[in-house]
Structure 1
Amino acid sequence: MQDHTDLSTVDLTGLRRGQWISAISRIGEADGFSEPLGRRHHGVFVERGHTLLVSFETLPGIEVLSETATPLGWSMALDEGWSSLAVISSRDTWFRDERIYAFFDQLMDDGFFDEFEQVIFYGAGPCGYAAAAFSVAAPGARVVILQPQATLDPRVTEWDDRFAEARRVDFTSRYGYAPDMLDAADHAWVLYDPRERLDAMHSALFERPNVTRFRMPFMGGALQGDLIELGLIGPLLTAAASGDLGTLDFARLIRARRDHTPYLRKLLAKLEKDGRRNLAKMLCRNVSLRLDAPRFRRRLEALQALR
């Protein structure tokens, strides 16, 4: 039996992009498969356990968010023994490409997803769109997506002016409207900050009987980076895999944000903007007692000095 690559020893930081693709391709070919999908996309499968994580990621995102410049699914392979199928793009493409459609068609024809006891799809932002859209290829899968877009078809979401360069992308053909593609999923969880207006509007389009939408106020528009910093991506995925991701479970996990200063700063700014000075003082006092937070201590002193 061929030994698996020890992913704990893999560090791809500092590689040029061509070198990086070559490195992950070698690991994929040794441990599963690697498949180029045109000029902008690549698929890498690393076989481990009977749970498969299908993660959609961008190369710039991997470079910024991973300490070892490796796909997120590889950390789940290390920590949980899961298999990983990482579908990677060179930039934000929403994975709208005929080669991607054909790739998932072939996986379905080959019965690839049927070989696993549990399949989880994951992505954030444009990658969250793709995770939802392509989850239809694995009926019964579970889906975890962070602040996803539902579509960028201007006839549906003309109010979203953030992605002008994607207006010409076809969101009406196969695997097109992400919320409809979730109909075959066992369950999906959509995480978003309701104070991010456009993210909240997209989230509303995902309302379905088999979709749970979790609000994360004051977390902002970069949920994936914050959740990685809080160490919550793995627990969220494992909870989704086990089916233990109800409202109470999520609330317990997200309590970790009480120690996350970007969240606390946004919350303090909101309290002060609304003139809720007593609550602002209580927040500053609580944070000052628990954390090394000079800014909150100084603000507490300033608030206490006010009559």
Structure 2
Amino acid sequence: MTGDESVFPPNLSRLSRADWLAALKRIGEQNGFTEPLGRAHAAVFVERGDTLLVSFESTPGIEALSETRTPLGFEMVRQHNWSSLSVLCHSDTWFRDPRVYEFFDHLLDDGFFDEFDCVLFYGAGPCGYAAGAYSVASPGARVLLLQPQATLDPRLTEWDDRFADQRRRDFTSRYGFAPEMLDAALRAHVVYDPREPLDAMHAALFHRPGVTRFRAPFMGGALQAEFMALDLLPAMLKAVAEDRLDRQGFATILRARRDHPPYLRRLLAQLDADGRTHLATMLCRNVVSRMHAPRFRRRLAQLEAVEDDTGT
């Protein structure tokens, strides 16, 4: 382990894969528990406060998105003294594995979740599916899902051709249909970009009592990466834990995208595609007045030149 081991979370970014896995195992053993769940999954529990974040994450995702190469829950341990249960997969499995079923069965039977005042399940994409599906093991939990799949059962989602090779997985047995599993949650929140058709179609399947769907237009098909780049997830998770995430609160949090170049580029591209030159000009003027944005400055010059030629 590199750096000061008394600091949590430690910086594991320079470790080899084998040393990294060993460090995560040691962190769990020293602070709570570590449990392998077959060859494809593992769980790491860090015990701190009375709020528990159950995050579903992939090891490639952690390596790509975390500066310290640690699970998202570790950051909430640092910021808010929460407890963290990180359920990890080594590739996108949607956590459809009997060992994972048994793990959550045991947690439920042992009353593990009853030890906490607040339990929050979180995941994105395939991990969002899993967070929704396994949240049923903790009735009364809060849930935050970013662009989750509802199921890959082809009888329901044959229109989603992104994961055709995964349809052989069993999505019909225990912990199967994620929207139905949310019926036990106190509240659930599903965030998606309505301009991503397949994500929006999955989000529609989550239209159930107790589930609020939040639209994040022009944020693209990798919401977790975009939200982490904007450092929005800690605030969103805390708002969910405190039952404060409503539409107004979400809109306030999402205002940070006004300074996010990928969002602004997508918005400009759509305005150009729709021929809405006046709005495109207004957008470019706003952006160049606030930030260094050569692409927007060039596009503004083009738009203003057209205005001069046409006299509009």
What interval of TM-score do these two structures reach, taking the shorter chain for normalisation? Answer: over 0.9
Distance 1:75 1:219 in 2: 23
Taking a change above 3 Å as real, the CA distance of residues 224 and 270 of structure 1, as seen in their structure-2 partners, is: same
Query: What's 2:166 paired with?
Result: 166
Q: Does 1:20 align with 2:23?
A: no
Query: What's 2:103 paired with?
Result: 103
Contact 1:7 1:74 in 2 (8 A): no
Query: What's 2:188 paired with?
Result: 188
What's the TM-score, normalizing by structure 1? 0.97
Query: What's 1:139 paired with?
Result: 139
Taking a change above 3 Å as real, the CA distance of residues 263 and 155 of structure 1, as seen in their structure-2 partners, is: same
Contact 2:28 2:44 in 1 (8 A): yes
Q: Does 1:42 align with 2:42?
A: yes
Query: What's 2:85 paired with?
Result: 85
What are the ranges of 5 or more consecutive residues in structure 2 without an aligned counterpart? none
Q: CA RMSD in A?
A: 0.9
Shift of 1:9: 5.7
Write the mapping of 1:246-285 to structure 2, written as runs, cut at 5 A. Answer: 246-285=246-285
Q: Which string of whole-angstrom CA distances, capped at 9 and with x for unpartnered residues, describes residues 158-198 of structure 1?
A: 00000122011000000000000000000000000001000
Contact 1:271 1:277 in 2 (8 A): yes
Q: Which string of whole-angstrom CA distances, capped at 9 and with x for unpartnered residues, describes residues 249-273 of structure 1?
A: 1111100000001000000011111
Contact 1:33 1:45 in 2 (8 A): yes
Query: What's 2:178 paired with?
Result: 178
Identity, % of aligned pairs? 65
Distance 2:9 2:28 in 1: 15
SS of residue in 1 equivalent to 2:190: strand
Shift of 1:14: 3.0
Q: Which string of whole-angstrom CA distances, capped at 9 and with x for unpartnered residues, describes residues 227-269 of structure 1?
A: 0011100000000011111111111110000000100000001
Q: Does 1:153 align with 2:162?
A: no
Distance 1:220 1:11 in 2: 29
Equivalenced residue count is 303
Query: What's 2:293 paired with?
Result: 293
Contact 2:9 2:78 in 1 (8 A): no
Contact 2:150 2:179 in 1 (8 A): yes
What are the ranges of 5 or more consecutive residues in structure 1 without an aligned counterpart? none
Shift of 1:7: 4.3
Give, as a single letter, the amino acid of the residue that structure 2 aligns with 1:61: G
Write the mapping of 1:213-224 to structure 2, written as runs, cut at 5 A. Answer: 213-224=213-224
Query: What's 2:123 paired with?
Result: 123
Distance 1:291 1:208 in 2: 41
What's the TM-score, normalizing by structure 2? 0.96
Distance 1:9 1:136 in 2: 29
SS of residue in 2 equivalent to 1:180: helix
SS of residue in 2 equivalent to 1:42: strand
